[in-house]
Structure 1
Amino acid sequence: MRQIVSIQVGQVKSYLMHGEQAGEKTWKTAFDKRPVATPVIVARSGVDGDAQADRKHHGGPDKAVLMYANKHYGAWTQEFVHLDLGPGGFGENLTVEGMTEESVCVGDVYRIGHLVVEVSQPRIPCWKISERWREATLTDRVRATGWTGWYVRVREPGVISAHDGIELIDRPYPKLNVSTLNGVLFHRVEKSPALLQQLQQCDALAEGWRQAIPELRA
């Protein structure tokens, strides 16, 4: 059964970079997201009380809310026993049960209470995952596993709570699951002309991805 496990928000904070070459350099992020009491309001801009430090690469209509599969945390905690990984650990707003990158497709429309969201793209893992946890290999492991999470845009704002059910109400692109897009991005799936054409014609795919199709053809 698809449902919300927990809801997280974060505020922009400054941190010291780690590593031998970091010195006194700092970086800003709202990656450290913590569970909040529910119910919470989700507007078109995202979850009430949430923030992004880098508005160029995070936030905006196509990246309003980040979702992540609770299922993955079991494997992560076994591999990285020294890290306190749990809901919100990968910077997600919604930790969800019954959904993974294999079972979620771009363009999927889900109803959560009165909220309606549409899957727009995979989350592209960057250096901040490793920096947040001070674990140099973690970002590469996210890329290798494909356990990236996915972004949704808000089609109808609403109020949600932990343990709300998640109902699939439309799936216009059943062949374009998040795992396939990750495979294209990380060179694990053949970038056939037919697949790239499907991506180009997928109206639900985030504009940034569609603009990058010519580069993916290279």
Structure 2
Amino acid sequence: MRLLSLNLGRAQAVEYTDQPEGLTGIDKRPVDGPVRVTAPGPKGTGGSGLAGDAVCDLRHHGGDDQAVYAVAREDLDDWERELGRALPNGVFGENLTTLGLDVSGALIGERWRVGSDLVLEVTCGRIPCRTFQEHLGEKRWVKRFTHQGAPGAYLRVIEPGEIRAGDPVEIVHRPGHDVTVALAFRASTTERKLLPRLLAAGGALHPEALAEAREYVAKYGT
């Protein structure tokens, strides 16, 4: 398991974002590194956890619980075959393109050591949006991405550190529940009856997803 590509984005003006400034940082491009990764601060004020990486829409992206976004190269390869086009590392807006790691099958609260110092913790999957769809230029992309159910993982920073392309990735902790990124994604999108199962992940789950699960249980029970 290794970090195949380390990707950073810069703010770019586009026509398809609803940001007042018309900027997005979704177009990530590979860099060699090293890049410092730290907790960026609360959502709404903190952006990316990676130094030099732009996050423009602080309403929906960035912050401590979405400090880093990872996608498996294997999932990009699957999409290449389905779409019939090349998908370079970083094209999904991911900071980390991994190889040999089941990112969407990772458990909420699973911890990864990247390189020698950085430790990250899985919090949730990526919910697709219009900016993502327009960036890819694929019709019905939000629906297709959701149906595929392999959203990649957002991670929080547990121990800061520097990373570079090619660094090894090691799973250093697996929690005792069975709540994966893919399951949490389905619960929040297409199979809301799964929401009660997310409570098993506890505080490791992204706070918004945890609140959603608790509200569902309060209204409908388990």
- What TM-score comes out, normalization by structure 2 length? 0.85
Counterpart amino acid of residue 15 in structure 2: L
Counterpart residue number, 1:100: 102
CA distance in 2, matches of 1:141, 1:192: 22
Q: Assess, with a 3 A threshold, how the Cα gap between structure 1 residues 205 and 159 changes in structure 2: closer, same or farther.
A: same
CA distance in 2, matches of 1:148, 1:4: 18
Q: Assess, with a 3 A threshold, how the Cα gap between structure 1 residues 69 and 189 changes in structure 2: closer, same or farther.
A: farther
1:212 counterpart SS class:
helix
Counterpart residue number, 1:21: none
Given the alignment of the two structures, is residue 14 of structure 1 paired with residue 13 of structure 2, yes or no? yes
Contact map agreement 2:124 2:185 (CA 8 A) in 1: no
Of 37, 40, 48, the residue aligned with 1:42 is: 37
- What TM-score comes out, normalization by structure 1 length? 0.86
Given the alignment of the two structures, is residue 158 of structure 1 paired with residue 161 of structure 2, yes or no? yes
CA shift for structure 1 position 151: 0.6
Q: Using the aligned pairs only, state the percent identity.
A: 33
CA offsets 1:25-69 (integer angstroms, 9 cap, x no match):
983210000001222211222111101111111010000000001
Contact map agreement 1:70 1:95 (CA 8 A) in 2: yes
2:132 counterpart SS class:
helix
CA distance in 2, matches of 1:72, 1:188: 22
Query: How many residues are paired up?
Result: 207
Q: Which runs of 4+ in 1 moved over 3 A?
A: 214-218
Contact map agreement 1:123 1:148 (CA 8 A) in 2: yes
Counterpart residue number, 2:45: none
2:185 counterpart SS class:
helix
CA distance in 1, matches of 2:195, 2:31: 43
CA distance in 2, matches of 1:205, 1:70: 24
Contact map agreement 2:66 2:154 (CA 8 A) in 1: yes
Of 180, 183, 208, the residue aligned with 1:180 is: 183
Counterpart amino acid of residue 7 in structure 1: L
CA distance in 2, matches of 1:192, 1:7: 33
Of 86, 89, 92, the residue aligned with 2:88 is: 86
CA distance in 1, matches of 2:79, 2:61: 24
Counterpart residue number, 1:22: none
Contact map agreement 1:3 1:165 (CA 8 A) in 2: yes
CA distance in 2, matches of 1:37, 1:151: 21
CA distance in 2, matches of 1:183, 1:94: 22
The runs of 5 or more residues in structure 1 that have no matched partner are 19-24
2:156 counterpart SS class:
strand
Of 133, 137, 153, the residue aligned with 1:134 is: 137
Given the alignment of the two structures, is residue 51 of structure 1 paired with residue 54 of structure 2, yes or no? yes
**What is the alpha-carbon root mean square deviation over aligned residues?**
2.1
Counterpart residue number, 2:206: 206
Counterpart amino acid of residue 200 in structure 2: Q
Counterpart amino acid of residue 179 in structure 2: L
CA shift for structure 1 position 185: 1.7
Counterpart amino acid of residue 207 in structure 2: E
1:47 counterpart SS class:
coil
Counterpart amino acid of residue 183 in structure 1: R
CA offsets 1:143-175 (integer angstroms, 9 cap, x no match):
011121111101111011111111111112440
CA shift for structure 1 position 134: 2.0
Contact map agreement 1:101 1:177 (CA 8 A) in 2: no
